[in-house]
Amino acid sequence: MILTIIILSILLIFLGYGIYNLLKQLEKYEEAIEKSDSSLNETQESLISILTKIRTIDSKGIFENDDEVGQVFKQISDTIEKIETLND
């Protein structure tokens, strides 16, 4: 009887320590995810700001319709759309 209590106590200590370590790891991963999400949101806001500034500068659409510069417009737009789908 006493042996059973000792074995169960030791098992309880090991399980408690294991759960404690798993909770610490979970908190670390949650912080990393939050940091990644905030970084992604900042990047999205920055790209949207860049695109609106470029469109303001190019009010006539001359650069946007140009082959080389237009490609940059398209890449920025595509990147913003990809980020928006990730946020959904």
Q: Name the CA dihedral angle for 14, 17, 19, 23, rounded to a multiple of 10 degrees.
A: -170
The pLDDT tens digits of the residues spanning 42-76 come to 988 888 888 788 778 777 777 667 777 778 778 88
Which pLDDT value is given to residue 35?
95
Higher pLDDT, 17 or 49: 17
Cα atoms found within 13 Å of the Cα of residue 31, Cβ hemisphere only = 6
Residue 78 predicted with pLDDT over 70: yes
Task: Compute the distance between CA of residue 58 and CA of residue 78 in angstroms, rounded to an integer.
Answer: 19
The pLDDT tens digits of the residues spanning 20-42 come to 999 999 999 999 999 998 998 89
Residues 6+ apart with CB under 8 A from 59: none
